[in-house]
Amino acid sequence: MNVSRIAPQDLRCLVLNADYQPLSYYPLSTWPWQEAIKAVFLERVDIVSEYDRAIRSPSFEMKAPSVVALRDYVSQDRPPAFTRFNVFLRDGFTCQYCGTNKLDMLTFDHVVPRSRGGQTSWENIVAACAPCNLKKGGKLPREAGMPLLKPAERPSMHQLQATGRRFPPKYLHESWLDYLYWDVELEA
C-alpha cells in the first residue's frame, strides 16, 4: 500500500458517514473532487480535511477537499446487495473448495447445482476457482469429494466491511489515515 503526502492527480476525496466512519472499506468510499465540491455547495457534507491544491473558477477559489463527512447519518444495517463482487468479498477472494486466491481464475459456483434446483442466493453461491468449478460440475460438494471451507451464508454489512479491511487499497493519502483502520507506514 502506498501512503503519500502528495495529493493524487485525480484529487479523490474520502467520504465519511456522519459518525466519521468510512461509508465503505472495500471498495473504499471516495468521490472525485467534483462530487465532493458539489456536495459541499448543496450542504450535504462538511469538509474535514483539504489538499494544498486549489480548485478555481473565474469567480471562486477553494482548496480541494481530501476528507468530507456526511451531515446526515446513512444506516449501515441494511442487508448487502447480492452481487458477484460481494460474494467474492464475503469469501475473501478465495476459492471455497481449494483455498486458492488467484483472482484471474475466480468465478462463482452453485453449491447445489441449478440442474438440481439450486437457487442463485447467498446461501447457495460461493467463490470458486475455474478448475474446482469444472471438477465439481453438476455434483453436490460431498459427491465430488470437495467440502466447503466455510458455509455459504448471507453476510451482514458489518461482516463485509470487516472482511474488506483485510484488503487495503493501493493508495491512501495521509489525511485519510485518522479515519481508517489499517496498519500502514508512511512513505517519505
Q: What is the CATH classification number for the domain harbouring 151?
A: 1.10.30.50
106-110 and 125-129 as β-strands: parallel, antiparallel, unpaired? Answer: antiparallel
Spatial separation of the C-alpha atoms in residues 138 and 169, rounded to whole Å: 36
Residue 182 has pLDDT above 70, yes or no: no
Number of domains present in the structure of the chain: 2
What is the value of pTM for the model shown? 0.74
For 137-155, what is the mean pLDDT? 97
- Domain assignment present for 188: no
Residues 95 and 120 in one domain: yes
Task: Please name the residue that has the C-alpha cell 489499517.
Answer: 182
Residues 119 and 67 in one domain: no
- Domain assignment present for 187: no
Residues 58 and 117 in one domain: no
Determine the structural domain holding residue 151 and report its residue range. Answer: 84-155
Spatial separation of the C-alpha atoms in residues 86 and 127, rounded to whole Å: 10
pLDDT digits (tens, 9 = 90+) for 84-141: 999 999 999 999 999 999 888 999 999 999 999 999 999 999 999 999 999 999 999 9
